[in-house]
Amino acid sequence: MINVGIIGLGYWGPNLLRNFADAAGARVTVVCDRDAARLAAAAARYPGVAATRDAREVFDDPGVDAVAIATPVSTHFELAMRALAAGKHVLVEKPMAASSAEAQRLIEEAARRRRVLMVDHTFVYTGAVRKIASLVSSGELGDIYYYDSVRVNLGLFQHDVNVIWDLAVHDLSVMDYVLPSRPRAVSATGVSHVAGGHENIAYLTLFFDNNLIAHIHVNWLAPVKIRRTLIGGSQRMIVYDDLEPSEKIKIYDKGITVNSQPDSVYQLLVGYRAGDMWAPQLPATEALKTEVAHFVECVERGTAPLTDGASGLRVVRLVEAASESMAARGRLIELDAPAGARS
Amino acid sequence: MINVGIIGLGYWGPNLLRNFADAAGARVTVVCDRDAARLAAAAARYPGVAATRDAREVFDDPGVDAVAIATPVSTHFELAMRALAAGKHVLVEKPMAASSAEAQRLIEEAARRRRVLMVDHTFVYTGAVRKIASLVSSGELGDIYYYDSVRVNLGLFQHDVNVIWDLAVHDLSVMDYVLPSRPRAVSATGVSHVAGGHENIAYLTLFFDNNLIAHIHVNWLAPVKIRRTLIGGSQRMIVYDDLEPSEKIKIYDKGITVNSQPDSVYQLLVGYRAGDMWAPQLPATEALKTEVAHFVECVERGTAPLTDGASGLRVVRLVEAASESMAARGRLIELDAPAGARS
Amino acid sequence: MINVGIIGLGYWGPNLLRNFADAAGARVTVVCDRDAARLAAAAARYPGVAATRDAREVFDDPGVDAVAIATPVSTHFELAMRALAAGKHVLVEKPMAASSAEAQRLIEEAARRRRVLMVDHTFVYTGAVRKIASLVSSGELGDIYYYDSVRVNLGLFQHDVNVIWDLAVHDLSVMDYVLPSRPRAVSATGVSHVAGGHENIAYLTLFFDNNLIAHIHVNWLAPVKIRRTLIGGSQRMIVYDDLEPSEKIKIYDKGITVNSQPDSVYQLLVGYRAGDMWAPQLPATEALKTEVAHFVECVERGTAPLTDGASGLRVVRLVEAASESMAARGRLIELDAPAGARS
Amino acid sequence: MINVGIIGLGYWGPNLLRNFADAAGARVTVVCDRDAARLAAAAARYPGVAATRDAREVFDDPGVDAVAIATPVSTHFELAMRALAAGKHVLVEKPMAASSAEAQRLIEEAARRRRVLMVDHTFVYTGAVRKIASLVSSGELGDIYYYDSVRVNLGLFQHDVNVIWDLAVHDLSVMDYVLPSRPRAVSATGVSHVAGGHENIAYLTLFFDNNLIAHIHVNWLAPVKIRRTLIGGSQRMIVYDDLEPSEKIKIYDKGITVNSQPDSVYQLLVGYRAGDMWAPQLPATEALKTEVAHFVECVERGTAPLTDGASGLRVVRLVEAASESMAARGRLIELDAPAGARS
């Protein structure tokens, strides 16, 4: 049984609270937020849990084994670092930190302290993304040709970060999990439609080896909500629509066949192959429930989580590089191969 | 009554033939194709029309007033130039020519000969695009913020050109017609998944003044067919789905309101406004019928067509620039302001 | 401030509890359920609320002004009658009672005791149904020609009632609210696919005066969930899809025009009229919140609720008649004009 | 090679003409219509085909082996009877005749003359319906529980028949082909919204043995076009949406499991089973091409067609019975087991 403190009870924190409260193997002992009303609401709902407006009380409490942080991104580094320094295991909301330098220091601190450092890349724990990862790694899709995601809606303009930090992080964390290799370079474009504001629309292209290409379209100013990803493989292709109540994933047995020995370009023969479509039944478990159980297990066993600090760092590096490219209207930013890259 | 010759009876030519045959004010007198079977089929269907495998017979026939050309793009320049030189009016399929230099020379020849030179930018003649243009120019959308188009399907890989020349041309011609200004620069990315082939997937970002941004996603290797454009304005936003049997255009009375005098970024207040959606009834007339009638009228009156050589040239220039950018993985290509640009 | 007791904390009761707890003008003082675990959960969430397994404690408590009942339908009559007899106002879940005789007696008791008796016809309090009612009563649809509803899904087979009692009640209560007249007769068909079970699929036709016809299709054994109603009027027509996240209501400016003086049937000329489609913005307020506020207001002011006992009785009568018709494979059941009928 | 005459060139006849003209093994030698303009159009398109306004010329021509009839239903009997009497094979548009008595006499005449008599139940020849029939007969769906079809749109009000004769015929012919047994009784309701017109909206329930139930909703006055059929089986369920460009058929591995030995109704346990969805690739062949090839083959080999006179008669009998029931507001009409019934 591990004792957990929750810091931050804004939009996402109450979901962490509820899932840790329900998790076997965990117990929430304290919650922390600067807002007294939020604290009161949490205390009323979970009478046995202590409430404080001072995070220090969480870190100083020797009875707290782990801390879950759901605060604005600019505070992630300081809070996570203090938690690790106090010997706590840490689950930190996405994006992991406000810079890759911060993310790197958190990884080092966690390693030194031998503590679990996990990033809340929630989509990685959905049934849909798990299924996609399984289809990719089993080879059923064949070679992966492209990954194309659209994530747009009319919605919350952030004050302190652009739309890449807010929305594209989801896609980057999914790609980090499901794709067989790491991006080599990024080119991004975007614009702000609010004077003095950050970019509210952005387009990212990620280049990989072997002609794999990925693209992300994020937009806070769209008339309709779209959450759709196309994944093209040499054998099969996927449409993943996260707004579908069921059938979120459709697998198309479609593709092309290429005459590999043409005498000339005019003899280049591309054949088209169309087959059945198949929508696998997906488990209905809430992603955060799966994620919290995984965190608890990692803490208990001392194992590395699926979405560890290294994955959090990779995602932050991509966000930084994409933002830099966007500021330079699409200038290509080469990415160093991070330690532990798959290929 | 103008006499028309049709050159090229492959995929698109029969549609031109049918529409010119049915048009008031026009009469098809001759059709031309290298393929005898296609000629025979056309002759059987239109018994009074002459058929030839030699385009020279069309150009040399003094009874032919105008020529419609629907051949591979690499032949557009030569055929159109010979037709103009022979004093014929010309309607040429999109894209206008294989290079902007060729397009420029066609414009000059048509001007010198005082002949109509029109490019078959078919979408400009659809009820949907006409309605969009009217909504933009009337100011109902407010300031235009973005134009985002997705045009993907599993389908015909071209041997001689990349997917931008094939599919993005449609979007570029629509943007040329509906948007209030011209793009200043382009950044494009893409890749080929067929060894020795041209790019089959591409992403184009076009930069305009006033924070207007446009983006086009084209793909020959998608599991599903998508033809959807989002247009964001400061007052209203449009979703244009060309695959909808009716309700192709939906106009959303949605948007944001910005507190224009914030004391600091943290006080930047963005409000969200949601209202009704409206799908105007659109005329069901076939676009090509409207287009052919427009061509006939321009010939008869000696007026400039809506999709004249200059628009054809602008589109070809964008395709060239985008292809150049794509080859350089997103390098920004600045566009010279073409003569006759709107802003 | 009225004090409310909630009886029944199964599927629907917790929603009543939450909405009464949040309502201005009301306070939940006691909850009642036979299941100790449910009581414990409610008590933990609402610490100030008393909890009992014996409904008598609710009825005997002079501090309780009103009772909300969300128990199995077979218990509605007894519990509501005891509450009224104890001088409480009553909100009872749909369907109002297990028979029209029971419903009639509840109406009489409430009248004698001068207490509010309201039936929880939740859909009547949704923004969508309110909008439909407004469009019908304003005459914008013209004469109402038909009302056609499909309400199917895979799901909960009831042990004690057929699918009409469970699902069609929703449609009947909506029709009772929005249609300009009352049905004169009903013909229903259906079948059970579970040995010893009640009908799990049913089709109801309701006949009105003036060639208005209504039809309801309900099914517990469908592969997909559908909640769609078509309403045809002489001027406009509505598609109401309750599963749409936004745009639940679409109004089509379509219809026919009839040459009213044909010389013969072969000269009967029907013209078709197609116009715009319009989806009005609907308020996002939770229906049950609106309903609870309405109940509180009726209690405070002593006014009759929109979904009063009479409407509950009319719906139960239709369910009874439809079930009788279904047992006789579609035999027409004439309906007596109930007291207070609109036409 | 059989020589074919086509009678009737209105809406459907030109499709028959085109498919017979393209069919291997057949040759169109003559077309017939009262309208000179239609004849001229057909003659221009098919120069080698004779054209006449007098059907007698078709019947009297000894070179004509078979006649395809696509005229108003009131003329089917006379034209088909004369064709059979002249020794021609006959393909007649649906519905086969204006009454079951007429249909019966055509069957007898064809038998006496040993000629092929086939009814143009086009849907039976689509890839989608073929697939459904195969899924039913192979047992993959399990026991068939219900067949539910919606076929509504805005349009063409017929002068001489009600909407059942026009639209429900399609569903009845599909059911005749795919269902494992024949209906025992029918109850139908409907109404006309045009003074002096036939019913433009109708609902049919068909009762079968073994708790199989079928329902058809047809409507000429709907704001949207719907063509959707749900088929429920004990093992799997189908959604067939004929308006889907691809994926017309979706097969759901869903259903219920019933505890078959409950001690009481309250112990009746229904379990829910959810699995994958699967959309089989369907052949893209035009249904009428398949149908015409089948007709030619039946003529050449002297075999009975899939949609023979008996199936045409069964459909007409159902239409008659449903119209009779509709006039009596749902009165149950028992159906005699027709000769050759499957069960």
pLDDT at B341 over 70: no
Q: A71 touching B, CB under 8 A?
A: no
Asked if A268 contacts A259 with a C-beta cutoff of 8 angstroms, the reply is: yes
d(CA D116, CA D118): 6
A235 Cβ partners below 8 Å, 6+ apart? A139, A140, A141, A142, A143, A255
Q: What is the mean pLDDT of residues A333-337?
A: 86
Q: Helix or strand or coil: residue C321?
A: helix
Chains that touch C (3 or more CB pairs under 8 A): A, B, D
Task: Supply the mean pLDDT for chain B.
Answer: 93
- Residue type present at position D130: R
Q: Which of residues 290-329 of B touch A (CB under 8 A)?
A: 325, 328-329
d(CA B276, CA A222): 15
CA closest to B44 among chain D residues: D45
Distance from CA of C179 to the nearest CA of D (A): 17
Any idea which of A171-175, A259-263, B316-320, C72-76 has the lowest mean pLDDT? A259-263
pLDDT band at B263 (very low <50, low <70, confident <90, very high): low
Hey, what are B274's tokens? 């949601």
Domains of chain A: 2-121 (3.40.50.720), 124-287+317-334 (3.30.360.10)
Confidence (pLDDT) at D260: 59
Q: H or E element: which one contains C17?
A: helix C13-22
pLDDT at C339 over 60: no
Residue of D22, D119, D115 lying closest to D65 (CA atoms): D115
Q: B278 touching C, CB under 8 A?
A: yes
d(CA D315, CA D310): 9
Beta bridge pairs of residue C217: C150, C203
Q: Is the peptide bond before B95 cis (omega within 30 degrees of 0)?
A: yes
Asked if A134 contacts A236 with a C-beta cutoff of 8 angstroms, the reply is: no
Give the number of other Cβ atoms within 10 Å of residue C226's Cβ.
Answer: 19
Confidence (pLDDT) at D187: 98
- How does strand C270-273 pair with strand C277-279? unpaired
Give me the residue label for tokens 């519990």. Answer: C79
Confidence (pLDDT) at D99: 97
Q: Which of residues 243-262 of D touch B (CB under 8 A)?
A: 243, 245
d(CA D246, CA D244): 5
CA closest to A279 among chain D residues: D277
Q: D274 touching A, CB under 8 A?
A: yes
Establish how many alpha carbons lie within 13 A of residue D29's alpha carbon, considering only the half-sphere containing its beta carbon. 16
pLDDT band at D342 (very low <50, low <70, confident <90, very high): very low
d(CA C59, CA D266): 29
Asked if A90 contacts A116 with a C-beta cutoff of 8 angstroms, the reply is: yes
Q: Which residues of B are less than 8 Å from A150 in CB distance? A: 150
Among A160, A203, A332, which would you mutate to test the B interface (most chain B Cβ atoms within 10 Å of its Cβ)? A203
d(CA C189, CA D213): 9
Which tens digit of pLDDT belongs to each residue from A196-235? 889 999 999 999 999 999 999 999 999 999 999 999 999 9
pLDDT band at A337 (very low <50, low <70, confident <90, very high): low
Percent with pLDDT over 90 in chain A: 84
Q: D44 touching B, CB under 8 A?
A: yes
d(CA D9, CA D33): 6
Q: Is the Cβ pair A278, D281 closer than 8 Å?
A: no
Spell C186-206 as b/e; 16+ CB within 10 A means b. bbbbbbbbbeebbbbbbbbbb
Pseudo-torsion of CA C96, C97, C103, C108, nearest 10°? -80
Confidence (pLDDT) at C337: 59
For residues A128 and D284, which has the higher predicted lDDT (pLDDT)? A128
Q: Is the Cβ pair A262, B196 closer than 8 Å?
A: yes
d(CA A118, CA A140): 30
Q: What is the mean pLDDT of residues C298-319?
A: 98
pLDDT at C222 over 90: yes
Which tens digit of pLDDT belongs to each residue from B138-155? 999 999 999 999 999 997
Establish how many alpha carbons lie within 13 A of residue D199's alpha carbon, considering only the half-sphere containing its beta carbon. 30
Q: C223 touching A, CB under 8 A?
A: no
Confidence (pLDDT) at A156: 80
pLDDT at D339 over 70: no
In three state form, how does the secondary structure of A123-175 look? HHHCHHHHHHHHHHHCCCCCCEEEEEEEEEEECCCCCCCCHHHHHHHHHHHHH
Confidence (pLDDT) at A342: 45
Distance from CA of C31 to the nearest CA of A (A): 17
d(CA D333, CA D183): 11
d(CA C66, CA C90): 6
Q: C47 touching A, CB under 8 A?
A: yes
Confidence (pLDDT) at D193: 94
Confidence (pLDDT) at B315: 98
pLDDT at A187 over 50: yes
Orientation angle between helical segments B287-301 and B13-22, nearest 10 degrees: 60
Beta bridge pairs of residue D32: D7, D52
- Residue type present at position B16: L
CA of D320: how far to CAs of B160, C39, C156, C235, D30, in Å?
Answer: 61, 60, 38, 32, 34
Q: Which of residues 94-133 of A touch C (CB under 8 A)?
A: none
Residue of C16, C12, C5 lying closest to C293 (CA atoms): C16
D327 Cβ partners below 8 Å, 6+ apart? none
Asked if C128 contacts C242 with a C-beta cutoff of 8 angstroms, the reply is: yes
pLDDT band at B340 (very low <50, low <70, confident <90, very high): very low
Confidence (pLDDT) at D259: 63
Confidence (pLDDT) at D340: 46
Q: What is the mean pLDDT of residues C39-47?
A: 85
**A22 φψ region: left (φ > 0), alpha (ψ -120 to 50), beta (else):** alpha
d(CA A191, CA B211): 6
For residues A272 and C141, which has the higher predicted lDDT (pLDDT)? C141
CA closest to D284 among chain A residues: A274
d(CA A195, CA B256): 13
Among C149, C166, C203, which would you mutate to test the D interface (most chain D Cβ atoms within 10 Å of its Cβ)? C203
Confidence (pLDDT) at B258: 73
Which tens digit of pLDDT belongs to each residue from D143-195? 999 999 999 999 888 878 999 999 999 999 999 999 999 999 999 999 999 88
Say which of D47, D225, D243 has its CB closest to residue B47: D47
Give me the residue label for tokens 């004391």. Answer: B263
CA closest to D277 among chain A residues: A279
pLDDT band at A270 (very low <50, low <70, confident <90, very high): confident
pLDDT band at C236 (very low <50, low <70, confident <90, very high): very high
d(CA A251, CA A239): 7
pTM metric for this prediction? 0.93
DSSP states of D96-146 as a string? --SSHHHHHHHHHHHHHHT--EEEE-GGGGSHHHHHHHHHHHTTTT-SEEE
Hey, what are B297's tokens? 């009228």
Among B28, B45, B154, which would you mutate to test the D interface (most chain D Cβ atoms within 10 Å of its Cβ)? B45
Q: Is the Cβ pair A47, C45 closer than 8 Å?
A: no
pLDDT at C343 over 50: no
Among A236, A237, A254, A278, which would you mutate to test the D interface (most chain D Cβ atoms within 10 Å of its Cβ)? A278
Q: Which residues of A are less than 8 Å from B213 in CB distance? A: 189-191, 201
Confidence (pLDDT) at D246: 86
Confidence (pLDDT) at B339: 47
pLDDT at A267 over 60: no
Say which of A247, A253, A275 has its CB closest to residue D277: A247
Q: Is the peptide bond before A62 cis (omega within 30 degrees of 0)?
A: no
Chains that touch B (3 or more CB pairs under 8 A): A, C, D
Asked if B178 contacts B170 with a C-beta cutoff of 8 angstroms, the reply is: no
d(CA B198, CA C116): 75
Residue of B166, B129, B133, B132 lying closest to B151 (CA atoms): B166
